[in-house]
Amino acid sequence: QVQLVESGGGSVQAGGSLRLSCAASGVTYSRYCMAWFRQVPGKEREGVATIGSDGTTSVAKSVKGRFLISKDNAENILYLQMNDLKPEDTAMYYCAADQWSPGLNLYCNVGRSVMAYWGKGTLVTISS
């Protein structure tokens, strides 16, 4: 049973920083992809950043240079360090996980929208 539990959201002013965490358990794929997505009510969910089991990362253009995805493999915690936050970063942020298998068209990049497992989300609000 895969469980993903996000934390670290909150309200900060523009220019500030937050670090989101996702405690993962039950992810047993030999090759996996973990990701952060975000969604604003009324808009499509957006891939923010991904990290594969080999450490390969991808980051959306809208956050490149400001957000950094990382994973503590010993503790099974996924992180998203968010710096220089902007009001347009306001959203519910979700952690997700799935297999990484190019042979099955299961890639690990921010273009991927379908993931097997999702957390419940953590809210990030940025004020100007």
User: What is the per-residue pLDDT for 103?
Assistant: 82
C-alpha distances (whole Å) from 111 to each of 10, 18, 58, 60, 100 are 26, 24, 9, 9, 13
Q: What contacts 5, CB < 8 A, 6 or more positions away? A: 22, 23, 95, 119, 120
Q: Render pLDDT for 64-120 as a digit per residue (tens, 0 to 9).
A: 999 999 999 999 999 999 999 999 999 999 999 999 888 887 899 998 989 999 999
Mean pLDDT of the chain: 95
User: What is the per-residue pLDDT for 5?
Assistant: 98
User: What is the per-residue pLDDT for 28?
Assistant: 83
Hey, what amino acid is at 41? P
Pair of tokens at residue 106: 């299961």
CB 20 within 8 Å of CB 9: yes
